[in-house]
Amino acid sequence: MCGIIGYVGNDQQAVEVILDGLSKLEYRGYDSAGLAVVEEGRIFVDKKSGKLSNLKESLKEKVHLANVGIGHTRWATHGVPSDINSHPHCSCDGKVAIVHNGIIENYSALKSELIGKGYKFISDTDSEVVAQLFSYFYNGDLLETLKKVTERLRGSYALGIIHEAEPEKIVCARKESPLIIGVGKNSNFIASDVPAILKYTRDVIFLENDEIGILEKEEVKVYDKNLNLIDKKINKIQWDMEQASKNGYPHFMLKEIEEQPEVVNKTLEFYTKEDGKEKLTDLFEEIDFSKVQEIDIVACGTAYYAGLQGANYLKKIAQFRSNVEIASEFRYSDPIIDERNVVVFVSQSGETLDTLMALRLAKSKGAKTIAITNVVGSTISREADVVIYTLAGPEISVASTKAYTAQVITFYLLSLEIALKLNKITEAEYKNYILKAYNLSGKIEEIFDSKEKIKGIAETIKDKRNGFYIGRGIDEKVAREGSLKMKEITYIHTEAFPAGELKHGTIALIENDTMVVVVATQKDMVEKVVSNIKELKARGAYIISITKNSYKDIIDVSDEVLAISDIDDILAPVLAVIPAQLLAYYTAVAKGLDVDKPRNLAKSVTVE
């Protein structure tokens, strides 16, 4: 995987369009980039490991008057990052070029079969087998050939394919890996994500599993796996490239951190009315929560940590038993779920493959499913029984910030709606909870006044090699997210765990100047956390505390304090994550790292 762009038009600028599209997909994370265009009846390929700039430099002295082509940014799964392993891959006769996201699970068997038929492979990838297989089956009909190819593939794929025998066409297919078709005027596109084509069109077709598309400059057709023509809906994308640009910020991550007050208010305003009544009506038409015994939450990474906060809200507000599981583990843990369960699946992209497969398992067992996602039309949003969209807008930085906050606020509102419907809270209590939430945006903005202080702390810790994040209760869940941010973009190894567990082994690792970030926002935990800090200080630890302005006892025993305003304990963790995000951001900046595109990471993880 990671990013796909394809173009067919009539203005002979395929290289320009593809390079522009790939630049819009850089946020997904990648280790190489390449393109293939059809020019004068022949396929030309150029691909380079490293950044997209390497590919641009290679193409700089060449003139290509091509109007059909495909491009790719690769995140390595099979084979090390290298020019040879980069996409596109070609058949050994050079007549076919393909780009592929996903994993071909039976590639080894197919490769052996094709080698036996005289085909020669040059890369270590699973993807090259698709190009060779397409060449083997090609009979003058792109659609029929692609049908035969996909029937032989086992695994996941989003495919874009060109053949020099039919130089005005692109064929594509998808299974478990996202692919869209952009519909333009005298030009059409394929892409793995909307930003790649948003400069050229807002009209998009979302391909479903096992669908095959064929694109010419003036026509797009989509077929099912048996090549029956499908009448596909064209969707209009509502956001524009300005929302996906830096707007003067040095990095997308900082811009997205500072968009969080707006995201909170937008979410509250959309899902509540002025009179405080619920707006999530579809949820209760589909699910009778009075018959639900348990609400499970399944997600990966940052979304998983948002789910931990969500479980806290479901327990405290809606009085629902709730479990949170990592999606990649869920399918293999023999989950005990049936029609009495509701399972909530959280994914910013709506394409996280582990989460998608877990959703399908839950549905097969009879559970009702809810998707919380940021991307309209994503696979998870289409397959869940109910979808609740977060309103974060496009999130470009690989490290999630505003999408996390939007997910947490969505869980807060979901818990309130369920509690109100089941008479766990009164109408007056509901309105009070909503009013408290409206205080959040202003208090988040106050944290931004501390950026210079946070920069100073970042300079102090930038050369640390490891550290710890601790908290108690819900604060420990915030500590996990803070730790993940620090790991993702600074490459400093940090570990998060409950503060009470210090004495059960981890304190052996504390020595002079060991960095420990303490999250302490809950009033009933202050005395316990102070004791934990003193245990750490006695062994020389350097303490950075994220705590409320009024918690003087914690402030007095800390080396550095990132203070948040006083707010109700139930919402304080939403505030506490903001300084943790900024601390990670400024530490990465101080280290001179690529903040928005950390090494080895991808924005949308579409492989298991």
Which tokens sit at 473? 């209760």
Q: Name the helix (H) or strand (E) containing 494.
A: strand 493-498
Query: Residues for the chain: how many in total?
Result: 608
Residue for token pair 């002979």: 12
Cis peptide before 261 (omega within 30 of 0): no
Of 402, 421, 487, 603, which is the active-site residue? 603
Nearest to 182 by CA among 166, 167, 169, 199: 199
Of 2, 90, 172, 300, which is the active-site residue? 2
Which tokens sit at 309? 């906060």
By CB atoms closer than 10 A (0-12, 13-18, 19+), residue 500 is middle
* Rounded CA separation 23/30 (Å): 11
Q: Name the helix (H) or strand (E) containing 467.
A: strand 466-471
- Output the CA angle 528-533-534, nearest 5 degrees: 95
* Rounded CA separation 78/124 (Å): 6
Give the start-end residues of each E strand in 192-340. 203-206, 212-216, 219-223, 229-230, 235-236, 294-299, 322-326
Catalytic residue list contains 603: yes
Report the first-to-last Cα separation within the chain, whole angstroms. Answer: 11
Catalytic residue list contains 363: no
Max Cα separation, the chain?
Answer: 77
Q: Which residues are catalytic?
A: 2, 603
